[in-house]
Amino acid sequence: MIHCMRMRRKQDANQAQAERQHEAREQLLDRGAKDLARRPWRPAPIPLSAVDLTQFAVWRSADLTNDDLLAALVLLPAARAEVEEVESGLLFLARSSGLTWAEMADAMGFSSPQACQQRFNRLTSRHDS
């Protein structure tokens, strides 16, 4: 019973966060982000990413209200998740193309190949959960 209540609260919190992110996305699109050029890797009808929208807010900050900046802050968790997906994808592609963990660690500034591999494992385990 307690487990079900916790699950329900978590679902409610997730739904509330998704609604806040949707509203924030719409707010920034209305403030001009909808006029940004499409990215070739995100063709229509795929919407602008949270990273694009938060960068828009930084770029146009002088023209935005505090509410608009708060909307961009609401999107930061989604933007972080998008960047982590790109990172795990690049690490996977690099390994698949034959790069060693040592080469990848050096390129990314890790202190060891193991640290790079551990980072990849953490990213992919987050994505899987």
Say what the pLDDT of residue 129 is. 61
As a dihedral over the C-alpha atoms of residue 28, residue 32, residue 35, residue 38, rounded to 10 degrees, the angle is -30
- The domains of the chain are located at 1-74, 78-129
pLDDT band at residue 85 using 50, 70 and 90 as cut-offs: very high
pLDDT of residue 66 exceeding 80: yes
> If you average pLDDT over every residue of the chain, what do you get?
93
Q: SS3 for 41?
A: coil
pLDDT digits 0-9 by tens, 98-109? 999 999 999 999
Question: What residue type is 56 in one-letter code?
Answer: F
Mean pLDDT of 26-40: 94
Say what the pLDDT of residue 43 is. 86
Encoded tokens for 67? 């509410």
pLDDT digits 0-9 by tens, 41-65? 888 889 999 999 999 999 999 999 9
Contacts of 56 (CB under 8 A, 6+ apart): 28, 32, 33, 36, 48, 72
Say what the pLDDT of residue 93 is. 98
Say what the pLDDT of residue 127 is. 67
Kindly report the backbone phi and psi dihedral angles of residue 32, in degrees, each rounded to the nearest multiple of 5, phi listed first.
130, -10
| 8 Å CB contact between 88 and 96 | no
| 8 Å CB contact between 61 and 102 | no
Cα–Cα distance for residue pair 35/29, rounded to 1 Å: 8
Cα–Cα distance for residue pair 125/70, rounded to 1 Å: 30
Q: Which residue has the tokens 């679902």?
A: 11
Say what the pLDDT of residue 4 is. 75
Mean pLDDT of 12-29: 94
64-70, long-range: CB < 8 A, 24+ apart: 64/31, 67/27, 68/27, 68/28, 68/31, 70/24
